[in-house]
Structure 1
C-alpha cells in the first residue's frame, strides 16, 4: 500500500463557499476519511495550505481544523516545490492575476468560476496553462447535484425522445440590508467590484446546457437592476450598480430552446432554489438540487382551458418522483476527487480552463445582448 500526501494551496477559503464546500466538505472530508482511494492499495491524502489576506482568520481556521500550514504570502507558497496544486476561490476580480502567477510557478490549477473578469483574460489563462503543460480544472459543481445526475440518467436513457425545451428558474430574495442583513456580500451588487448576476450565473448555465443538452448557439438576454440601493456590511447605503436579475433565451445545438430566469429579487414559490423543466416528445421532467420528477407521454393528462370553473385536479400530483438508485455525496467533493485522480493518474478530464472561458464568453455576450437589445450568436471557442 502506497500512501501519498499532496499539498494544495487553497486561496480564498475564508469566504462562505470556499470554506464550506471546498475546504470543509471536500478537502478536509477526504483527509479525515483517510484519503482518496486510487486503486491497487494506493491512497492520496490531501494536505491544505491556507492562503489569504486576513492572518487572524487563517490562524483561527487552521487551529479549528488541525491544519498545520497557513500564510498571507502567496509568493512563498507558489515558490514551495512541495505544493503541487493551486486552488482559487477568491473574489473574481482577484482570481485572474493569482492563477496566472500560479501557472508561471508550474502548479496544477483548480479554481472557481468565472476564471477571469473578461473573456480575453479567461482565454489567456487557458492558453498559458496549456503551454505550461500543467493540469487545470474549473469548478462546475451543478453537474454533480443529485437532481441533475438523475436528469442526466433520463437523457442518456432516451426518456425524453426529442428534447424540445428547457425552462430554468433560479434565485431567491437577497435582503437589501437595511432592516435585515443581506445573505450575500455587498460586492456582488457593485459592477466595479466584479459583481452582477450575469457574470455570476451565466457561466453555470453554459456548462449545464452544454453538458446536458447541447452547445449554446445564440443568446438573447435582458439584464436589469431591480433593487437600486442596498446596505453593506457596515450598515451603510450604497448604489447597486450591478445587475441583480437576468432573463435569458438560449438556442441550443440540435434545436432545443432554453429559457432561464436568474434573480436575487424573487421570492421563492417552487420546491427548490433552482429548478429545470425539460420537455420532450416522449416525456417531461422537473429537476432541482436534489429531486427530479417525471411525467411520461403515456401518463400526460389532457387539461382543457376553462376560466369559468375552478381547477379540479392537482397538476403537481400527476408527476412521479425519480428514485435515487444510488448514494449521492457532496457535488464539490465529487469533482475534487475526479480532479485529483486526473492529476495523479492522468484520468480523463473535460472541465478545464477552456470550459471556464466558455462560461465567461456567454456572460459577456449576454450582457452585450441586453445592452443592444438583440439576439447574438455564440461562436465556438478554441485555443
Structure 2
C-alpha cells in the first residue's frame, strides 16, 4: 500500500518553541513513530526541511536528527522545492511576508500565533488563503493539553450546571537578565519588535474561552510594564517598552464572566504555571495544563467568616483529582496530526487563520481598553 509523504518547510526551528515543541516533539516524533495511519492502512509520512537564518545551527540540528535538507534561502525553497506545507514559527513581525509568499507558491500553511502583528495583517492573510484555496491553521496548543481536555469533558458532561465565572492565573517570574539569564527572548519585552504579554497571551485566551465556554463579547483590561529595564542575551541593558503584565475581565456570550491575570512579573504559588477555576451552580473545577481538580455541590464545605479566629478547615482537601482515564499525547503533536490529516483529505482546518484573527481582535481590544480606560465590545459571532 502506497504511503503519502508530505515535505514541510519549517521556518524558525532554531528557536526554543520551534525546536522543542514543533520539530522534536511533533514532526520528528511523527516521523520516528512511522507516520500517521489512515483508514485504508496507508500512512502519512513527514519529511521536514529546516529553514532559518543561521546555517551553522541548521546544519547541527539536521545532522543530530537525521534531516536531509536545510536552507537559509526561503525564496528559493518556495520557487524550487516541492514541499506541500509551510510552517512558520519566526518572530511575529516576519510572519505575514513569509506566509503570503507561501500562499502564492501554493503551499498549505500552519503557523504559530499570533498569526500576524495586527488585525489588518491577519485579515489580509485570511483573504489570501481563501482566494487560493489552501488549508491553513494556527497553533491552538493549550486546548489540546490534558488539563484543559479534562475541563472540556466536564463542560460537555454538564458537570457545572450553569457556569457563572472563570478565573485564570497565568505567569511566572522572568528574570531581568542581570543576575540570572532571562527565560524568554529579549524581543518579548520590546514593543517595536512585536513583544508584549497582551499580544502574546490574549490570542491564547481567546481560543481557550471560545472553545471551552463561549466567544468573548467585551473586554476591560489594564496592561502594564512592571519591569522597565532588562538585559538581553548578550548582557546588554535595554528599555522594556512592551507590557509584561495584563489584568483583564472578559465578558462571554451568554453571561459568563472570565477574569484572567497574565504576568511575567509574578512568583508562582499554585500547582501549575497557568490555572483556570470554573465555578457553576452544580460544581467547580480548577484546571491547569495537566491536572484538573473538581468540587461538586455535595462536596462543597459551608464556611463562615470569622476574622477573630484562625481558619482550621483544610479547604483543598475537599477537591478531587480528575483521573487520566484515557492517554493524553503531546498537545502540539496532536494538533499537527489533525492539520496533516486535514491537508491530506483536502478539508478546512478548524483552527484556521480566521480563528487567529479573532485572537488578534481580542488583543487589540485589550490594548484599546487599557489605553482609553474603558470597556471595549468585540464583533458578534461570524465576524473574522
Asked if the contact 1:231/1:237 (under 8 Å) is kept, the reply is yes
Secondary structure at the aligned position of 2:248 is classed as: strand
Question: Which residue pairs with 2:3 in the alignment?
Answer: 3
Question: Which residue pairs with 1:247 in the alignment?
Answer: 247
1:17-72 C-alpha deviation (Å, 9 max, x unpaired): 00000000000000001111122111011000001000000011100000000000
Task: Report the CA distance between 1:139 and its aligned residue.
Answer: 0.3
Question: Which residue pairs with 2:213 in the alignment?
Answer: 213
Question: Which residue pairs with 1:55 in the alignment?
Answer: 55
TM-score by length of 1: 0.99
Tell me how far apart the structure 2 counterparts of residues 206 and 308 of structure 1 sit (CA, whole Å).
42
Question: Which residue pairs with 2:143 in the alignment?
Answer: 143
1:118-143 C-alpha deviation (Å, 9 max, x unpaired): 00001110110011010000000001
Question: Which residue pairs with 1:280 in the alignment?
Answer: 280
Question: Which residue pairs with 1:299 in the alignment?
Answer: 299
1:308-330 C-alpha deviation (Å, 9 max, x unpaired): 11111111111011111100010
Structure 1 segment 119-130 matched on structure 2, within 5 A: 119-130=119-130
Asked if the contact 1:2/1:41 (under 8 Å) is kept, the reply is no
Q: Which runs of 5+ in 2 are unaligned?
A: none
Asked if the contact 2:136/2:349 (under 8 Å) is kept, the reply is no
Question: For this pair of structures, how many residues does the alignment match?
Answer: 383
Misfit runs of 4+, over 2 Å = 346-349, 380-383
Question: Which residue pairs with 1:158 in the alignment?
Answer: 158
Tell me how far apart the structure 2 counterparts of residues 191 and 250 of structure 1 sit (CA, whole Å).
23
1:153-186 C-alpha deviation (Å, 9 max, x unpaired): 0000000000000000000000001111101000
Asked if the contact 2:189/2:244 (under 8 Å) is kept, the reply is yes
Question: Which residue pairs with 1:201 in the alignment?
Answer: 201
Asked if the contact 2:135/2:349 (under 8 Å) is kept, the reply is no
Structure 1 segment 223-372 matched on structure 2, within 5 A: 223-346=223-346, 349-372=349-372
Tell me how far apart the structure 1 counterparts of residues 33 and 196 of structure 2 sit (CA, whole Å).
38
Tell me how far apart the structure 2 counterparts of residues 318 and 187 of structure 1 sit (CA, whole Å).
43
Task: Report the CA distance between 1:5 and its aligned residue.
Answer: 1.2
Tell me how far apart the structure 1 counterparts of residues 347 and 25 of structure 2 sit (CA, whole Å).
23
Question: Which residue pairs with 1:109 in the alignment?
Answer: 109
Task: Report the CA distance between 1:81 and its aligned residue.
Answer: 5.1
Tell me how far apart the structure 1 counterparts of residues 252 and 222 of structure 2 sit (CA, whole Å).
18
Q: CA RMSD in A?
A: 0.9
